[in-house]
Chain A
Amino acid sequence: MGADSSLRSRFEHGLDAPICLTWELTYACNMSCSHCLSASGRRDPRELTTAEARTFIDEVAAMRVFYINVGGGEPMIRRDFFELVGYAVDRGVGVKFSTNGTRIDAGAAKRLASMDYLDVQVSLDGADASTNDRLRGAGSYAAARRAMEHLADADFGEFKISVVVTRENVTQLDDFAAIAAHYGAQLRLTRLRPSGRGVDSWADLHPTREQNRSLYHWLIDHPRVLTGDSFFHLSPLGQPLDGLNLCGAGRVVCLVDPVGDVYACPFVIHERFRAGSIRDGGFGAVWRSSELFGSLREPGSAGACSACGSYDACRGGCMAAKFFTGLELDDPDPECVYGLGEAALAAHPVSIRPRSAPDHSRARVRSLSVPESLR
């Protein structure tokens, strides 16, 4: 996007409406990925009704939010999934939805292909079954590839293959690109966050400093690969990566969870970052008046990073990554390219790490990768 600095500062002070927001439709999921941001599994009995969901979409459309990222849980598990997606795109709100692909059969693929302003992101976290299924569960690689076949057969067009970059799959970037090319799809890479069940798996799964350096250069060499602006902590390594290169939490993005709670971003489903509920006076009221969002729109302090010449490039990195690793919000990012985050982590006792809450994991899946039968 190449925002110049004056426009970036407008973003830092927040917009009257988000550019986009993430809406987790349900906490229900037929998988139990070990890095699930929303610690999903069981449906929450308080999830929004269809009528509430439509009212929410009406409000988002009136605020001219450009698009919503629909996720979960597995969003296609909701019986009103197609109804709600159709309702949004008919009102000019674009929908990108993330799915594990298990519910995309030939019929669903045709239906998706017939809709405008709709984009599908099929999750794949390994370029081969063993790498992928270690994180996402037995059979999940085959299910995702089947969904991709159906989307390609239905002439969906350029759907997205969405990869969370880990220590294990960071060596497979060219293989992911080849899989995307095979389907005429576009590759999307995002950053692993220590959120949800990732609180437990992040330390073992996040890329090493050396790997992050290779990742940065790979991204520079592959400008067509989408990143959801998620690697701005790597920008001090050279030219900035494409995107806004700032933390948009509560400023230009936010998250609405399945029960209507509004959080600052998709990676901080935790009471500390809960701004309010759309059930109390609607989404707009929360976006405009939440005390939390007000404070996030104040100029931030560079804190421990103020002595670093690269603060302008990375803005201290990701708030969620710091919070869930037990760091202070003005500490360096735990994956700071200069290793300053590792030093800060070493100085913090592991015991003070916050837990993700709420947690909808099914029994005994927390920190274990239990093979799931796929429906």
Chain B
Amino acid sequence: MADDPRPFARTEHWALSDEVSMRDESFGALAYHHGTRRLVFVKSPLLVDVVRRLGDYDNVDDALGALVQPADRERYALALAALADSEILRGC
């Protein structure tokens, strides 16, 4: 079992956990965490894209700046925080 997830911070590097499989679906994607056995909905194709590419950026804000329209960034940051909370994303 993983340790408690570290708190999400937009100024830090976060990426899709290597314990997670993500599968595209018509509504976005399903993400399954092999360690916690939790199945999580990723509810839009753009969020799926952000999650997949998050690890390529130095920090979360850089990823949001590159991939998401300014007006939507706060909303996406909240969605990423929720995914971090369920350990789909891992801080590293």
Residue numbers of A with Cβ under 8 A of B are 1, 3, 7, 10, 15-17, 19, 64, 66-67, 92, 94, 117, 157-158, 226, 244
Q: Is B25 in contact with chain A by the CB < 8 A criterion?
A: yes
Interface residues in B31-48 by Cβ distance below 8 A to A read 32, 34, 37-41, 43
Query: Is the interface on chain B under 10, 10 to 19, 20 to 34, or 35 or more residues?
Result: 10 to 19
- How many Å lie between the Cα of A158 and that of B1 in the bound state? 7
Asked if B79 CB lies within 8 Å of chain A CBs, one says no
Instruction: Determine the chain B residues whose CB is within 8 A of the CB of A244 once the complex forms.
Output: 39
| B41 pairs with A3, CB closer than 8 A | yes
Say yes or no: is B23 at the interface (Cβ < 8 Å to chain A): yes
The answer to whether A226 and B37 touch across the interface, beta carbons within 8 angstroms, is yes
| Given A19-B32, A67-B34, A94-B34: A1 in contact with B21 (beta carbons within 8 A) | no
Given A7-B41, A17-B23, 9 more pairs with CB closer than 8 A: A1-B38, A1-B39, A3-B41, A7-B27, A19-B32, A64-B21, A64-B23, A66-B34, A92-B21
B35, chain A: closest CB distance, angstroms? 9
Most buried by A among B25, B34, B41: B34
A66 touches B40 (CB 8 A): no
Known A1-B38, A158-B1, A226-B37; judge A19-B21 contact (CB<8 A).
no
Judge whether A94 and B39 touch: CB under 8 Å. Answer: no
Assess the B1–A66 pair: CB atoms within 8 A.
Answer: no
Indicate whether B77 reaches chain A with its CB closer than 8 angstroms. Answer: no
A159 CB, nearest partner CB in chain B, Å? 11
A67 touches B32 (CB 8 A): yes
Residues of B within 8 A of A15 (CB): 25
Cα distance A19–B34 when bound, in Å?
12
B30 close to A (CB within 8 Å): yes
CA distance A226 to B1 in the complex (A): 14
Main secondary structure of the interface of A (DSSP, over half): loop
In-complex Cβ contact of B39 among A19, A117, A158 (8 A): A19
- Docked Cα-Cα span, A108 to B26, in Å, equals 41
CA distance A244 to B32 in the complex (A): 14
- Say which residue of A7, A66, A157 sits within 8 Å of B21 (CB atoms): A66
| Given A1-B39, A19-B39, A226-B37; A66-B27 close (CB under 8 Å) | no
Residues in A with CB closer than 8 Å to B38 are 1
Pairs A-B, 9 closest by C-beta atoms: A66-B32, A64-B23, A94-B34, A158-B1, A1-B39, A117-B34, A66-B21, A7-B41, A10-B27
> How far is B34's CA from A158's CA once the two chains are assembled, in angstroms?
12
Q: List 25 A-B contacts (CB under 8 A).
A: A1-B39, A7-B27, A7-B41, A10-B26, A10-B27, A15-B25, A16-B25, A17-B23, A19-B30, A19-B32, A64-B21, A66-B23, A66-B30, A66-B32, A66-B34, A66-B39, A67-B32, A67-B34, A92-B21, A94-B21, A94-B34, A117-B34, A157-B1, A158-B1, A226-B37
Interfacial chain B residues near A94, Cβ < 8 Å: 21, 32, 34
Name the residue of chain B whose CB is nearest to the CB of A7: B41
- In the bound complex, residues from chain B placing their C-beta under 8 Å from that of A19 are 30, 32, 39
> Which residue on A lies nearest to B32, using beta carbons?
A66
The distance from the CB of B75 to the nearest CB of chain A, in whole angstroms, is: 17
Shortest CB–CB separation between residue B55 and chain A, in angstroms? 17
Report B44 CB to chain A, min CB distance, Å: 12
Q: Residue on A with the closest CB to B20?
A: A66
List A contacts of B39 (CB < 8 A). Answer: 1, 19, 66, 244
